[in-house]
Structure 1
């Protein structure tokens, strides 16, 4: 029997153990030490952020972004329904209301043409998700936000080393969240980062990050006393997490290239199945420089998806679905509302299958995945 092909496999790049040993030998294990600062400097260099702050998760980074955006009870934040619950939770935890709009059929990102109709006098911000490391249409979104005086928060959890018209994702909004969860391109098990693009928010972001204290300023000798000055929480990861992450960030361009090569291999192998009408491949607009985070296919009918996943599993291929749209989830119905029809979201989320994709995946395994997919979908 052939070995099972996992959907994801956390991949080491080589220097993780050395960096962790160094962190342990220094006796500084709590957050905001040398490894944290080195990771943050690399992120600032690669994204152009005014300030990068490591967090325990992208969820934490999104919660920080909602604080910095000034989300208050009753404020509305427009976002796609096709996203992870953290995008909405960050708003709900501030007393805000997620307002869900439909997605584009090509990138599965927020439909920028649906945003304006969802704006009300209570709208405070737009939360943009770059699904699969492919950019939302940021030119149009930023123009709408500027015209209506709205903040833009980027959920760039999947989008490190991706771009829109040559500009790094995560560098458009007032702040952006990055994820280093073990399922992402670059990992630290759990982990994330907040990218702060508005220099005027950088100091407050650091205070929120340090539990609402001016501890970082005190450590730099900028204030005489360390005290509580604002709201905040415990968002820092440990130095062990940061040490592990530094190795991953240092190898970021190489890991991204490996994933893109695997993505392109799938795209070529699956072209005949698309031509035969047996599935649809992802479409990446020319202006989007993606990072190979996810390779998904869309089966022709929603009724085919779950049986196909079961049969793939029986053949040793761990393919998976993705989000249940938030507008139809129990919490989404309780805390948010849909603005307009969600036709594309409902249809495509029910037809989507994510294929195994990680740096350890071999060309032979990819060919096996495609053969299995052809087998379970039957003749065209």
Structure 2
């Protein structure tokens, strides 16, 4: 592709830090680079404890364990999300309850939560799509009213905020992703942000294969042993070294992503004014420049635009097949009512290339191509 959808980019001392990790004598999990990444997050986010993991999926699985969900329990979440949001809870035996999304933000519609709550509901999982915040005040209020835990799936929302509060730090637990498709990357990687009282010690145990190894490394105990369930959720030091270099350049990365996002909004505004496409209402001050999406007027037009863009060397893509209509979603979950907005959005959404390797000239080329495709899509 002349303009790929995404491309991982080094921004600073990635290779130097990787070499340091190897020279230090250990590249397994739990080393100095992992600890430095956690310190960066705890310094830059208002969070009680940040635990680096080998993926956001791992962080979600840990969150499900910490929430104590099991067979017969229900977990409210949007259907318009990645499978990991659901599988983390299905693995514990819980049932995802899929709720429709808002047409403006594409996030969980907080007005539908009450109708989805039953005596078996234990958790609400808001997903901050494209880095734009869910209505967290309303979600936290509904959770408190029903005695529920809130686990933020902030995979796409690192360094986005809601009313001045960092996403992932508002709920009881938050989950971040550093997958190569995200703004700040380590190839594969994630973090569990622990905000709820009394959860830190168990979270550390779950991450270390059910042992109190973290306390041993801090010199708090003279030996470690098996304490609880858990798994191997620490990333290796090479991954953590790469991540630290990216975190240190976070301000520069975020500024560029937001500039690209705003360039798309500005460049495509004349086309949106004709009604040929629909653009996100949010500007970069609200989102974090992770995804730039637009909506075609109908599924057929979406298909034609995507076909023409990719034929021209511009790798534009669609996004999720809604979980409630997927084979596993039909098997393991249930939909709360008709998810009409979810189905409609999923059939019309287009994501445009956005990554640090994208130049201003590339953005202009994409804008021109989208305009040409949309105005002749019929």
TM-score past 0.5 threshold: yes
Q: TM-score, normalised by structure 1?
A: 0.97
Please say if residues 73 and 94 of structure 1, whose CA atoms lie closer than 8 Å, have aligned partners that are also in contact: yes
Please say if residues 279 and 298 of structure 1, whose CA atoms lie closer than 8 Å, have aligned partners that are also in contact: yes
Between the aligned partners of 1:121 and 1:269, the Cα distance in structure 2 is 49
Between the aligned partners of 1:163 and 1:108, the Cα distance in structure 2 is 16
Please say if residues 278 and 300 of structure 1, whose CA atoms lie closer than 8 Å, have aligned partners that are also in contact: yes
Q: CA RMSD in A?
A: 1.2
Alignment of 1:372 onto 2:354 = no
Question: Which residue in the other structure is 1:11 paired with?
Answer: 9
One of 297, 300, 325 as aligned partner of 2:322:
325
One of 342, 345, 350 as aligned partner of 2:339:
342
Question: Which residue in the other structure is 2:137 paired with?
Answer: 139
SS class of match (1:216): helix
SS class of match (2:125): strand
Q: Which moved more, 1:182-191 or 1:215-224?
A: 215-224
One of 341, 354, 364 as aligned partner of 1:357:
354
Between the aligned partners of 2:16 and 2:286, the Cα distance in structure 1 is 32
Between the aligned partners of 2:17 and 2:43, the Cα distance in structure 1 is 20
Structure 1 segment 90-239 matched on structure 2, within 5 A: 90-239=88-237
1:29-61 Cα distance to aligned partner (Å, 9 max, x none): 111111111100111122211111111100000
1:108-164 Cα distance to aligned partner (Å, 9 max, x none): 000000111000000000011000000000000000000100000000001011000
Between the aligned partners of 2:43 and 2:218, the Cα distance in structure 1 is 21
After TM superposition, which residue ranges in structure 1, 4 or more long, deviate above 3 angstroms? none
1:238-260 Cα distance to aligned partner (Å, 9 max, x none): 01110110000000111000000
Please say if residues 62 and 207 of structure 2, whose CA atoms lie closer than 8 Å, have aligned partners that are also in contact: yes
Question: Which residue in the other structure is 1:270 paired with?
Answer: 268
SS class of match (1:190): coil
Q: TM-score, normalised by structure 2?
A: 0.98
Please say if residues 56 and 236 of structure 1, whose CA atoms lie closer than 8 Å, have aligned partners that are also in contact: yes
Structure 2 residue runs of 5 or longer lacking an equivalent are none
